[in-house]
Amino acid sequence: MLVKELKVCLEKAQSAHSVQAKPIINSSERPINLFEYESLASQYLSEMALGYYTGGAWDEVTLRDNREAFERFKLSPRMLVDVSHRDLSTQILGQAVRMPILIAPTAFQCLAHPEGEMATRRAAAEMGVAMVLSTMSTKSLEEVASVPMSTPQWFQLYIHHDRALTRALVERAEAAGFSALCLTVDAQLAGSREKSRRNPFTLPSGMQMANLVTMKGREIPATVEDSRLLTYFTQQLDQSLTWQDLEWLQSITTMPVVVKGILRGDDALRAVEHGAKAVIVSNHGGRQLDGAIATIDALPEVVAAVGDKAEVLVDGGIRRGTDVLKALSLGAKAVLLGRPVLWGLAVGGEAGVHHVLELLRDELNLAMALSGCATLQDIDASLVKRL
């Protein structure tokens, strides 16, 4: 995107946040990688929002390990391969995307930018990638779905004690045109995130969990002047969730179900046996059980267990195109990008998200070429070694 587009979005972002940063980014200051976006985003986010987005559980061991684990895998590139023409396109659940990168579900995106999930959706549509919308979005699923998009749109779901509420969310998503449900299974209880405990999280006045406050007939607080809405939500998640509930979910929708939060091969196989069309290797960005295995370390076992029975995706710690290449080499069909999307959103709104995706795409393109891979089909386990 042009620098002037980022400047316009930056000015909009500044007006919505109490933390003021430099008024513009000139060409020499424009981020050139995702790490620089993260550093810059801290200037545009309130302390509370930054703590909520960045925080991990307890000592944040898993949060750090998600990133550091990628560095333990080394690439073994092929030479003298014609890579003059490269193709990053693929299909996820039978739907075409321009690259093997999806936008992961992240909550409360309006904390980063006033347009929140709407800006992210537009950037995803422009870049030809799939977006997974969070149940805890600050724009309703109907609003987000109204943005034209030819690539897949998935809806992330938590199962509530109130199954009628859960069913209503599923029916709304299907009616709005979402093409898959992404069931999160690792968050029946919220992990202990000490950054948020020190600086308690509340939604600012005028911001809401849009998918829930629009549920007619539900006793859900309409105001968000304090943390009541978030507390209500976390208390309503069903802690008795079992594999049979996965079957129930499939019985109420025609959308394929993707299970997110898998870290073991046997759980991955159970998910497939109970009807999941794909699994996402995820530890919730290190926000749930601290000490849990890093996702890239868990990926090979899950791929081996699932085989060709379902597609396997992975999230957590992805910051470079080489990270994407390593994940694909270990058997992932695609990766999901979480926090970096929020950094781009905070810095430049839609243009910032677009640029984050652009940077990662270009890095993957270069990494493939330097590894002797012209297409995604050329990527295999021989390219990566764990040291």
Q: Are 157 and 132 in contact (CB under 8 A)?
A: no
Angle at 225 between CA 220 and CA 229, to 5 degrees: 30
Radius of gyration of the chain (CA): 20
d(CA 284, CA 308) in angstroms, rounded, equals: 25
Q: For residue 133, what is the enclosing H or E element?
A: strand 130-133
Neighbours of 231 (CB within 10 A): 12
> Quick one: how far is CA 184 from the chain centroid?
12
Q: Choosing from 113, 284, 354, 355, which is the catalytic residue? A: 284
d(CA 225, CA 202) in angstroms, rounded, equals: 7
* Calculated CA dihedral for residues 122, 124, 128, 132, nearest 10 degrees: -130
Whether 113 is catalytic is: no
d(CA 351, CA 371) in angstroms, rounded, equals: 30
d(CA 387, CA 384) in angstroms, rounded, equals: 10
DSSP codes joined into one string, 69-82: HHHTEEE----S--
Distances in Å between the Cα of 157 and the Cα atoms of 34, 107, 108, 184, 188 are: 28, 12, 15, 6, 12
| Residues designated as active site | 284
